[in-house]
Chains A and B, each alone.
Chain A
Amino acid sequence: MKHEDKHISSYSSLAIVLAVLLFLTAFSVWITGFHFGAFTVAVALIIACVKVATVLINFMHLKFENLFLKLLVTGVFVMFTLVIILTFVDYYFR
């Protein structure tokens, strides 16, 4: 972890992140009115992933961490994506 003084985020940037999260929540509700067929779950998961990434980067201070930790967290996202794809391979080819 780097120096403590670099961990202070301004109120304005935190407010912007909050607004983005609220917008994405409303967006995820609004988009349920559209039918994407086989991609319905994928669309919902993509929006959820963007929200999670926003929280991780800003509220959980991932942006202050070193490249190694950022790569580890990215790796977790990649792994979960592969798990979900593998599960859906079964569904769509069953």
Chain B
Amino acid sequence: MSISGSETQVSYLDYQGKHKGIWSWLLSTDHKRIGLLYLYAIIVFFFVAAFLGLLMRIELIAPGRTIMEPQTYNGLFTIHGIIMIFVIVIPGLAAVFGNFFLPILIGARDVAFPKLNLFSWYLYMIGAILGVLSQFIGGGAPDTGWTFYVPYSVESSTNVIYALTAAFILGFSSILTGLNFIVTIHRMRAPGMGWMRMPLFPWALYATAWIQVLATPIVGITLLMVIAERVLNIGFFDPALGGDPVLFQHLFWIYSHPAVYIMILPAMGIVTEIFPTFSQKPVFGYGAIVLSSLAIAFVGYFVWGHHMFTSGMSYNARWFFSFLTFIVAVPSAIKVFNWISTMYGGSIDLKPPLLYAISFIFLFMIGGFTGLVLGSLATNVHTHDTAFVVAHFHYIIFGGMGFAFFAAIHYWAPKMFGRMYNFRVANIAWVLNFTGFNLLYFPLFIVGLQGMPRRSYDYLPQFQSGHVLSTVGAFILIAGLLLMVYNLVRGARKGEVAPANPWKGVTLEWKIPSPPPHENFDDIPVITSKPYLFGNNSDNK
């Protein structure tokens, strides 16, 4: 492939367009600046939601009242869930790193619809701010949990409508981003970049974008139906009005289970970029990883019923959904096999991005295996709505998406900001994060199996040791997160100047300067080989 002339442009950080100062960011249609707008917003909202989570953990350090009333606790776990899921985890990787790197990785100057891209960010901000405000205004914080189950969400006197509207607006933002990425990948790949020459992060984003476009409208309409039911008393879901609450659960999970794959597929794509770079070896089983991404996106669409095994669903539907849930584990396992095989025999460089990527595999595997416990009918009945589910969920979402986010920011920060961070501090932060995370969530598996219910303000004294350990873990994790952010921010401002290719990567982003020029490439590159071609690896040609 040939890359020419990109050194002649100024960096996107120094570029002076029509607008100056803050407006050059708020009105920018540059995909890289929009990616950073998402990044800064997500960091702020993440710490808001993490603080709420920490308050919940402090409350649970002992049985009975510790620092808040039960209704406050109900509001905290609801808003913690809504912010974390709809504002951070679902858009997180695609909106930040997808926006920043998708066009670069496929050899394009921007996404297909740059103005729509900026509009998506504004929708995202409106939805996110409305979600946070719902905690503080009017009739009190919504207390339904992030799942908005009816009939309670129809009957609750709290700010449920604000939270529903926030999730609806955030869904719109997600759909538009997905649409933008699908068109970008179809129409704007560099000459010579056939489908099977496209790097694997764009492949993961492509699979994700289809889920965003196809699944999100379902939950959007469903949330509007709940609003209609609250405001107009239409009997969609409330049995008192002639509706069916199980129908709500179907419609909600038709979106919200694929939403897990909206979160995890880009995470898988990111670690798939990291393993070859830090092993200096072509990715093992490129085709298998592509197919497994598509298979996860497709099969993941049909497993939503495993959230409803105890909801009164028919027996036939239950065993069928259980069967499909086990099927979706297969492509996930294929990916893990390929990541391990990529590292096998490679020249492994244990830098912070790889530490986080390996942690991702470890934590995701624990989350995945415990997911099989929940996907199996008999064991699900025992563990349903216990702290076991909370632990499983956080191992997948935080251990998976969260640690992949940390891997990505450590991998691409030198490219995004043009400066290096301190490796030693990054390694210390990783130790704190990994230790704190496991101490926070692993005890919840144990107390969950012992019968500790989820979303419970109070508990029996026999569960206290697990909760104490968990709360200590939360403090360690918060310390690690703060140290990590401090190190990254300090690096971005005062770190050593980053070379164009600090990790010896081979994909297109490492062939342009750090930070990238305003339009990425002066001349669109011509792709003549498969990605991940290291040194003399002729077998990859």
By a beta-carbon cutoff of 8 Å, the part of chain A in contact with chain B is: 1, 69, 76, 79-80, 82-83, 86-87, 89-94
Q: Is B305 a contact of A86 with CB atoms below 8 Å?
A: yes
Q: Is B313 a contact of A87 with CB atoms below 8 Å?
A: no
With contacts A79-B301, A94-B312 known, is A86 near B214, CB below 8 A?
Answer: no
- Determine which residue in B250, B254, B302, B317 has the highest number of CB atoms from chain A within 10 A of its CB, and name it: B317
Shortest CB-to-CB span from A2 to chain B, Å, is 13
Taken residue by residue from 306 to 336, chain B's Cβ proximity to chain A (1 for < 8 Å, 0 otherwise) reads as 0000001111110011000000000000000
Q: Is B254 a contact of A90 with CB atoms below 8 Å?
A: no
Shortest CB-to-CB span from B306 to chain A, Å, is 12
- Bound: A1/B188 CA distance, A: 12
Shortest CB-to-CB span from B2 to chain A, Å, is 27
Q: Is B301 a contact of A93 with CB atoms below 8 Å?
A: no
Shortest CB-to-CB span from B177 to chain A, Å, is 18
Q: Which residue from chain A places its CB closest to the CB of B215 in the assembled complex?
A: A83
Q: Is A90 a contact of B302 with CB atoms below 8 Å?
A: no
Shortest CB-to-CB span from B314 to chain A, Å, is 4
- Bound: A37/B254 CA distance, A: 25
- Bound: A45/B287 CA distance, A: 37
Interchain residue pairs A-B with the least CB separation, the first 7: A90-B317, A93-B314, A94-B314, A93-B316, A90-B314, A87-B250, A90-B313
- Bound: A93/B187 CA distance, A: 45
Q: Which residue from chain B places its CB closest to the CB of A94 in the assembled complex?
A: B314
- Bound: A15/B147 CA distance, A: 45
Q: Is B254 a contact of A93 with CB atoms below 8 Å?
A: no
By a beta-carbon cutoff of 8 Å, the part of chain B in contact with chain A is: 186-187, 214, 246, 250, 254, 298, 301-302, 305, 312-317, 320-321
Q: Is B314 a contact of A87 with CB atoms below 8 Å?
A: no
Q: Which residue from chain A places its CB closest to the CB of B250 in the assembled complex?
A: A87
Shortest CB-to-CB span from A44 to chain B, Å, is 16
Shortest CB-to-CB span from B11 to chain A, Å, is 33
Q: Is A83 a contact of B314 with CB atoms below 8 Å?
A: no
- Determine which residue in A80, A89, A92 has the highest number of CB atoms from chain B within 10 A of its CB, and name it: A89
What are 18 A-B contacts defined by CB distance under 8 Å? A1-B187, A76-B214, A79-B301, A80-B214, A82-B302, A83-B254, A83-B301, A83-B302, A86-B302, A86-B320, A86-B321, A87-B250, A89-B317, A90-B305, A90-B316, A93-B317, A94-B312, A94-B313
Partner of A89, one of B186, B246, B254, B314: B314
Q: Is A89 a contact of B301 with CB atoms below 8 Å?
A: no
Q: Is A89 a contact of B320 with CB atoms below 8 Å?
A: yes
- Bound: A79/B312 CA distance, A: 25
B-side contacts of A93, CB under 8 Å: 314-317
Q: Is B214 a contact of A79 with CB atoms below 8 Å?
A: yes
- Bound: A91/B298 CA distance, A: 23
